[in-house]
Amino acid sequence: ETAPVNVAALGFVLGVGAFLVGPLAGVVSGPLALVAAGLVLLATGLGAERGRREVLERIR
């Protein structure tokens, strides 16, 4: 079933985002922090999606 894999991937992305938001927001100015956070989230999302697809292929 794919639902647990999807939930785990979402949890991973949210965990990385929560881990990085606090330290980045305090050090970098507002607009720059938003750009950096966006880039980090895009990279994390790409990695999570690749991992999710690999796990789903193993399940099937």
Structure confidence by residue, pLDDT tens digits, 20-49: 777 766 777 778 877 877 888 888 888 888
What is the structure's pLDDT at 23?
73
Contacts of 48 (CB under 8 A, 6+ apart): 9, 12, 13
Cβ neighbours of 9 (radius 10 Å): 20
Looking at every residue in the chain, the average pLDDT score rounds to 81
Q: What tokens appear for 31 in the block?
A: 């607009």
Range with the lowest mean pLDDT among 7-11, 17-21, 39-43, 53-57? 17-21
Q: How far is CA 22 from the centre of its chain?
A: 15
